[in-house]
Structure 1
C-alpha cells in the first residue's frame, strides 16, 4: 500500500466516524426532548417537527401521545453527516409554558433538561464511534 492510499483510507474512516457522531448526538438529543414532553392528549409531543433547512417548520397539528410520529419524522430529517443544520421546533402556543414547568409531568422542562446533558450525549457518541 502507498502512503497516499493509507491517508485516503484514514480520511474516509475519520469522516465516517465524524458523520456518525454528529447524527447520533442529534438523534439522541431530539428523541429525548420528544420523549420528555408531557402528554395529556398528545398535541405537545406530536407538535415537535424536525427540518433540515434554513428555518424551522410550523408544528404539525397531530395528536401523538407516544411520540412515534414525531420520532419517525425526526429520524427521517436528521442529516446523516456533520456540518449540516437541522432544526427541531414546536410552535404550539403553550409549549413555552410546558418548558417552564406548567405540567407536573415535566417540571424541569424538555429542552433545557436535554441541553444540560448535551456534552454527555456527544461524548457517548464519540465513544461509540471512536476511530
Structure 2
C-alpha cells in the first residue's frame, strides 16, 4: 500500500469506502440532499457565496454533475468502492465530493473513527 501522502483522491475515496461501507449510503444521501437544496435555493447560496477559490457558477455546475452521477450510479456506489471512487473522483467533481464528505464527517456522522479517518485522508 502507498503511504498516505502518495494516495490520489480516488484511492482515498476507495479506501474510505472499504473501511466504512456503512457510512457510504448516508454520505450519498447527504450529498444528494445538499445538491437538491443548492439547486432549489441557489439565489440564497449565491448571495452568501464567499469562496475566492472558485466561482459560484462553477460550484453549482459541480453540484449538478455530482447529483447526476449519484442518480445514475448510486446503487452501485453503495455496493462497490471501485464504482464509488471511479465515478465521483474521475473529474473535478472530486473537489465538490471531498468538501461534502468532510462536512458530513464534521456535522452528521456519529462514528468517531470515521471522523478521524476523514480528517487524516482529506484535510
Which structure has the highest strand share of the two? 1
TM-score of the aligned structures, taking structure 1 as reference length? 0.35
Q: Give the structure, 1 or 2, with the largest relative contact order (CA under 8 Å, sep 6 or more).
A: 2
